[in-house]
Amino acid sequence: MTPEFYIVLKEREPDDSLADAVYEAGFDDSSFVMRGGHAAIWVTDRQGELTELVREAIMQARKGGLNVNHVEIESEVFA
């Protein structure tokens, strides 16, 4: 299973300059979306262990000049 998570940014408006910054930071393998009233990066296509992928993505975002608010992981539902 490929881990999926959101890097939620502090910015609330997903304008073109923020979208450009997201992709220039190297998130061209991810989606730029809205999440809980904030701009966010939905990371879905990276292989590896979840904790390490989250750490790497946060460092990548910060290095790219993005303002990270927090990370969210989708809730799993088990029947």
Residue 78, domain member (yes or no):
no
> Whole-model pTM?
0.87
| Number of separate domains in the chain | 1
Residue 47, domain member (yes or no):
yes
In SS3 terms, the chain reads as: CCCCEEEEECCCCCCHHHHHHHHHCCCCCCEEEEECCEEEEEECCCCCCHHHHHHHHHHHHHHCCCCEEEEECCCCCCC
CA distances from 58 to 1, 2, 20, 23, 77 (A): 21, 18, 17, 14, 26
Residue 64, domain member (yes or no):
yes
Contact 7, 39 (CB under 8 A): no
Residue 65, domain member (yes or no):
yes
- Residues of the domain holding 17: 7-72
pLDDT tens per residue, the chain (79 residues)?
678 999 999 999 889 999 999 999 999 989 999 999 999 999 998 889 989 999 999 999 999 999 999 999 876 544 4
